[in-house]
Amino acid sequence: MAGTDSDGPPVVLVADDEAELAELYAHWLTDEYEVRVATGGEEALELATDDVDVALLDRRMPMMTGDEVLAALRERGINCRVAMITAVEPDVDIVDMPFDDYLVKPVTREELHSVVSVLLSRAAFDSRTQEFFALASKKATLESAQKDEPTTEYKRLTERMEQLRSELDETLTEYSNDDFEAAFRELPDEETFESPESTGSTE
């Protein structure tokens, strides 16, 4: 099980080939989390044990990219929440990537803490709800980068979100409004998500 189920602090893996930047992220996070730092993809995989709760991956690393690290993590069955933190502008290729959130550098200390907190909150939900959150984050990311044109990938993303919404409507009341707010770094738009409180449901 992940570190959130243990007595210690949550475990965050930071992978960035810019050593100074990786150490800066670690410095920002170390007051609340156990932080492991990798300056390359292979080192990241060595440090990515089952107790890692959140991984922050740079996409553009030499030898082994963040995309390759992400794929390897999923192939190994490591189910930690993942945020890509990178200078690579997002494109529709992110739709099928198994990550949870996407930040474009430079990021602030507040943004870093926010994304880690949000991803830890999402870990408490079931897999379908986690998928919905991840898709909502990707939708918001693409739209913020002005990549909301009706491509095949974008349409598929929104269709899957609508499918999940209809499936999740029956289980939304298992969670409180505060739970849902904690699991979103920002709401993509008011049509994407409605909490149990906003729909008039009761627990």
Question: What does the DSSP assignment read for 10-73?
Answer: PEEEEE-SSHHHHHHHHHHHTTTSEEEEESSHHHHHHH--TT--EEEE-S--SSS-HHHHHHHH
- pLDDT interval class at 165 (50, 70, 90): confident
- Edge-first strand listing for the sheet containing 101-104: 34-38, 11-15, 54-57, 81-86, 101-104
How is residue 84 written in tokens? 């890509």
130-145 average pLDDT score: 89
Domain span holding position 49: 3-126
Q: Does 192 have pLDDT greater than 80?
A: no
Q: Does 177 have pLDDT greater than 60?
A: no
54-57/101-104 β-pairing: unpaired
Tell me how many domains the chain contains.
2
Pairwise pLDDT comparison (26 vs 176), residue with the higher score: 26
Q: Are residues 117 and 132 in the same domain?
A: no
pLDDT value, residue 184: 61
Q: Are residues 88 and 137 in the same domain?
A: no
Q: Are residues 61 and 134 in the same domain?
A: no
Q: What is the CATH number of the domain that holds 31?
A: 3.40.50.2300
How do residues 145-164 score in pLDDT, each as one tens digit? 765 567 889 999 999 998 99
Distance of alpha carbon 34 from its chain centroid, rounded? 18
Show Cβ contacts of residue 143 under 8 Å, excluding neighbours closer than 6 positions: 188
- pLDDT interval class at 201 (50, 70, 90): very low
pLDDT value, residue 182: 65
What share of the chain in percent tops pLDDT 70?
78
pLDDT value, residue 175: 59
Rounded to 10°, the helix 19-29/109-122 angle is 70
Q: How many CA atoms lie within 13 A of 191 on its CB side?
A: 5
Quick check: is 91 in a domain?
A: yes
95-117 average pLDDT score: 94
Sign of CA dihedral 6, 132, 148, 118: negative
- Partners of 103 in the β-ladder: 85
Q: Are residues 148 and 134 in the same domain?
A: yes
Q: Does 66 have pLDDT greater than 90?
A: yes
